């Protein structure tokens, strides 16, 4: 008998390791060596979990809510989600239409594993949250990436959607406000997409609403179900508490949609995670049922920081940046620096090279657009102090100013 060669499973062939985590590791290493690194790569809010939510978790521990819960999530957790969906989104959902998982990522994973068969296509507008195509690939589906450049505010147009749909299309993924662009689909835009979708009844829609409450300048969040309630039998809403309630570490997400899909997702979860952490579910009830006044203050703070970054980057040579309407990211175009040479003689051939230069020579950590399927761009998280954001943008502008034409 020979020793096992530990080769990866065939289903991992098209799954990429996270570029973001690699960069974060590098940034932390430079910081630990004493370099003044400013970290703008991470996708999590810099606020803390509100006290009333923490308190609910402490009380759940004290009540010994420390045993297995049922797979789809506790009844009070799902009741809180149903009430939230009614109150905030005007959606009626039975408890059987709701499942709770270990984060929105885990929920999306369950949805794809439960519904995608080998060869099924999933339409993903790019730039995209980097896990979508990899989760689809793990489910042995085919990610169909549609480029949505800055000139169209990074949003898929109805014509692009119509062109991308084939008889093999299983899902369209929509994410608004978006990671990595902060782009927001208006109700009118969603109505036009719904019109295309009505002509293709075999296509289901995954609406990732995780940045729902992080909206700027009075923009109102709209979901495709609000404008097209007739699509209810094929829309899966996914959401979670990570971003809006600053609860990334609690690992709590949920989905609401057709009970058939939810049932299949519960089969996947029942044989993997089992259920979301019981204590996190107790905290989640407090998050979804408790006071929400602090959300406006937090959004206003992100809006102010967005403006600081957009204004500062638009004066940097070679960078151009639109003003996002939500989330806590800015996604500047850096095509003006491609082909230029650094003072050390390195030619910037891609956004990956540019981010490497920014990190290694200017100690600013941003994520290259390549991680999100649309280059040349960088994603800057605005979840940092105003002082650090100003300093980071000044360093980026200085880095751009120092670039020379490559001979």
Ligand X SMILES: Cc1ncc(COP(=O)(O)O)c(C=O)c1O
Structure tokens at 396: 């980026």
Shortest reach from residue 282's CB to ligand X, in Å? 17
Shortest reach from residue 213's CB to ligand X, in Å? 14
Contact status: 209 vs ligand X (CB under 6 A): no
Contact status: 210 vs ligand X (CB under 6 A): yes
Q: How far is CA 66 from the centre of its chain?
A: 30
Query: By rule CB under 6 A, what string of x and - marks binding of each residue 28-47 to ligand X?
Result: ---------------x----
Distance between CA atoms of residues 73 and 92, nearest Å: 18
Structure tokens at 274: 């089992």
Region of 97-105, 113-121, 264-272, 388-396 interacting with ligand X (CB under 6 A): 97-105
- Helical H runs in 8-157? 19-32, 51-62, 75-89, 104-115, 131-138
Query: By rule CB under 6 A, what string of x and - marks binding of each residue 253-292 to ligand X?
Result: x---------------------------------------
Region of 98-106, 277-285, 305-313, 336-344 interacting with ligand X (CB under 6 A): 98-106
* Exposure string over 48-78, b if 16+ CB within 10 A, otherwise e: ebbeebeebbeebeeeeeeeebebbbbeebb
29, with CB counted inside 10 A (0-12, 13-18, 19+), is: exposed
Contact status: 69 vs ligand X (CB under 6 A): no
Region of 46-54, 103-111, 272-280, 299-307 interacting with ligand X (CB under 6 A): 103-111
- For ligand X, give the closer residue by CB, 181 or 342: 181
Which of 276, 274, 269 has its CA nearest to residue 60? Answer: 276
- For ligand X, give the closer residue by CB, 46 or 59: 46
Shortest reach from residue 189's CB to ligand X, in Å? 18
398 backbone φψ class: left, alpha, beta (φ>0; ψ -120 to 50): alpha
Q: Which residue is nearest to ligand X (CB)?
A: 103
Contact status: 208 vs ligand X (CB under 6 A): yes
The answer to whether the beta carbons of residues 248 and 278 sit under 8 Å apart is no
Distance between CA atoms of residues 31 and 405, nearest Å: 31
- For ligand X, give the closer residue by CB, 288 or 399: 288
Q: Site for ligand X (CB under 6 A): how many residues?
A: 13
Structure tokens at 68: 């297995």
Cα 73-286-74 angle, rounded to 5 deg = 15
Distance between CA atoms of residues 184 and 195, nearest Å: 18
Region of 99-107, 114-122, 186-194, 195-203 interacting with ligand X (CB under 6 A): 99-107
Shortest reach from residue 247's CB to ligand X, in Å? 8
Sign of the CA dihedral 32, 36, 40, 44?
positive
Residue ranges in 123-162 that form contacts with ligand X under rule CB under 6 A? 129
Kindly tell me which residue out of 160, 226, 248, 350 binds ligand X, with binding defined by CB under 6 A.
Answer: 248
Shortest reach from residue 118's CB to ligand X, in Å? 24
Shortest reach from residue 297's CB to ligand X, in Å? 22
What backbone torsions phi and psi does residue 71 show, to the nearest 5 degrees? -55, -50
In sequence order, the β-bridge partners of residue 142 are 121
Region of 100-108, 257-265, 291-299, 338-346 interacting with ligand X (CB under 6 A): 100-108
- For ligand X, give the closer residue by CB, 102 or 318: 102
- For ligand X, give the closer residue by CB, 211 or 363: 211
Positions that interact with ligand X (CB under 6 A): 43, 103-105, 129, 175, 179, 208, 210, 240, 242, 248, 253
């Amino acid at each position: 008998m020979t020793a096992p060669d530990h080769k990866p499973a065939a289903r991992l062939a098209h799954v990429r390791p996270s570029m973001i985590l690699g960069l974060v590791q590098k940034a932390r290493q430079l910081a630990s060596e004493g370099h003044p690194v400013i970290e703008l790569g991470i996708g999590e809010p810099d606020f803390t979990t509100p006290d009333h939510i923490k308190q609910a978790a402490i009380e759940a521990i004290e009540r010994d809510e420390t045993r297995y819960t049922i797979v789809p999530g506790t009844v009070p957790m799902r009741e809180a989600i149903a009430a939230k969906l009614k109150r905030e989104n005007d959606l009626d959902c039975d408890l059987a239409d709701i499942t709770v998982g270990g984060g929105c990522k885990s929920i999306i994973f369950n949805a794809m594993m439960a519904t995608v068969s080998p060869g099924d296509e999933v339409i993903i507008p790019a730039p995209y949250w980097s896990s979508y195509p990899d989760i689809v690939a793990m489910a042995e589906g085919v990610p169909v990436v549609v480029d949505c450049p800055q000139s169209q505010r990074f949003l898929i147009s109805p014509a692009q959607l119509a062109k991308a749909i084939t008889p093999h299309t299983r899902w369209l993924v929509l994410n608004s406000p978006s990671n990595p662009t902060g782009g927001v689909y208006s109700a009118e835009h969603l109505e036009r997409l719904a019109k295309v979708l009505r002509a293709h009844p075999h296509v289901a829609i995954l609406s990732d609403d995780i940045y729902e409450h992080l909206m700027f300048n009075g923009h109102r969040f709209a979901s495709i179900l609000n404008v097209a309630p007739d699509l209810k039998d094929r829309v899966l809403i996914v959401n979670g508490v990570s971003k809006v309630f600053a609860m990334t570490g609690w690992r709590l997400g949920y989905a609401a949609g057709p009970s058939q899909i939810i049932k299949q997702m519960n089969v996947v979860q029942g044989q993997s995670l089992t259920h979301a952490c019981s204590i996190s579910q107790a905290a989640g009830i407090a998050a979804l049922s408790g006071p929400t006044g602090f959300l406006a203050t937090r959004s206003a703070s992100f809006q102010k920081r967005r403006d600081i970054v957009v204004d500062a980057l638009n004066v940097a040579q070679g960078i151009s940046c639109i003003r996002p309407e939500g989330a806590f990211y800015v996604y500047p175009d850096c095509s003006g620096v491609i082909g230029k040479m650094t003072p050390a003689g390195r030619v910037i051939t891609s956004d990956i090279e540019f981010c490497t230069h920014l990190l290694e020579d200017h100690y600013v950590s941003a994520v290259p657009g390549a991680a999100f399927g649309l280059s040349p761009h960088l994603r800057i998280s605005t979840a940092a102090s105003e002082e650090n954001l100003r300093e980071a943008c000044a360093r980026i502008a200085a880095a751009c100013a120092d670039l020379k034409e490559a001979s």
